[in-house]
Structure 1
Amino acid sequence: MRVEVSGLSKSFGPVRAVSDLGFTVEPASITGFLGPNGAGKTTTLRMLLGLVRPDSGSATFDGVPYAALPRPLRTVGAVLETAFHPARTGRDHLRVYCRAAGLPVSRADEVLAQVGLADAGRRRAGGYSLGMRQRLALATALLGDPAVLVLDEPANGLDPEGIQWLRGFLRHLAHDQGRTVLVSSHLLSEVEQTVDRVVIVGGGRLVREGSMEDLRSGAEGAGSVLVRSPDAARLAELLRADGALVDLDGEGLTVTGLTTAEIGGRAFAAGVELHELRSRSSGLEEIYFQLTAGREQYAATAPAEETAR
């Protein structure tokens, strides 16, 4: 099922939270939804789920808005926050949702097993850790066996083992079962290891949308080669003579216009010793900060140097 956001805008009084935002979330893939605090991510997700009415634009699931879905819980599973009655067991929490949605109560035990809470299902949710509450929220989203999952910060509170489990679980849902997964997160290193596509917003507007490969190829410095040599100055002259663009900094060179193989061959022929030779590959964190620079809602100033006493 394809999710499409088109021309979405929303203001709260004088504050423009989302402005003419558009992007798509493809089936059988995981899309990361990223942006600084105040970028409009939560407002967008709430409009997508019919919790906030947009001023203009639309958000649809295969062309149908959430409010018009005949069986929304069986189409879209969402986790925007974790809220449970502390005296109710995890199993009973899920059974309440089953009855409200007309689902068999047996689904409660099935989804508890899916998220690794089978042994904790009869414990009161008030005694759950934050990570366990996140798993219970995910179990709630899975009750209707939905084609689409919309998850806001699902890794918060999970330990490293839990984060690794979540990564594999989401990949299974998307890649093996063909579901559409939209994940909002600030854990950029984890997002990079999990998602297939990225949507980055800032100031309520779309900044960039595309696959991880698209982002890397369009990043500043993409396609360059990093070289380190004790004879860097001579190597720089040789590479410039071959038409390369070379930025020299001590023993390090950043080279554009030649491949690693071409640089290695040129250095070998000239008898230049190399200590490092690798293609530059920008990580998601570097790309993210390049794209969102100046779009932060709360930007801290650099700490001033302490005055000598």
Structure 2
Amino acid sequence: MSENGNQNKEQPESVEVKMNYNVEELANNFKFTEGPAVDAEGNVYFTDIPEAKIWIWTVNGEMELFREESGGANGLFFDENQNLFICEGWEGRITRISPDANYEVVASKYQGKRFNQPNDIWPDAKGGAYFTDPEYNENPALHQGGMHVYYVNSENETIQVITDLVKPNGLIGTPNGKTLYVTDHGDDKTFSYTIQENGSLSNKTLFTNLGGDGMTIDQNGSIYLTTTDKKAIDVFNKNGDLFYSIALPQQPSNVCFGGKNLDELFITARTSIYKIKLDAKGVN
């Protein structure tokens, strides 16, 4: 997979962190929060990985337990039909829960071997989903021989779509289904790819010389990245130019838009979950 001329893109200049956002802590005392995802009503689901639980922060401002024994669930995402895709890191698989609570395994092996630790996921409009498969244990087993990105289609058939990243983590697609962004936590870079009709990827392009954990996108195409080793979210325009940063009390792990109007940014950050009201709106 070739890279185009943006590979030599310079590191973005540092910007002054905007301090005029009211960062509201919604809940705390978690072990390690991750994977925020919004449903059609604006409720935000998120995971506490060590506790193997999935929680919901409702649009009514209440906390509800959605699932226990989650398999070490990390990344979550709802598709257009309100099926909840789950990265079960401990089990090395992708699962899905339908609106009527039917639970099924979508992908658990590639070429006869289990996945490493599925981390983040983005479903497309065709019933398939892209997911990253890094490994964060001290002595990684690397069941797949490396850390790659996969696509599982609507028939639960899996293909390998990216094999040349160090440690892929967060990813998000554009609403039109034409572009996929993937951040390489292991190499501190984020790339964009053109999505092909069969689910494969082409036109690997350096988006920014910053890597991170999770990311989301707003209706203007701006990318919100929980940049590596920063207590902040960096916001980029669609060209990869750094707009500004949003300071946070803790280092964030992931981010999504939620609320009834999709104009609230929900951030999972270690032991807490936070919310910020923005002018921008997300997509779901």
Whether TM exceeds 0.5 here: the answer is no
TM-score after normalising by structure 2: 0.30
Larger radius of gyration: 1
Of Structure 1 and Structure 2, which has the larger fraction of its residues in strand?
2
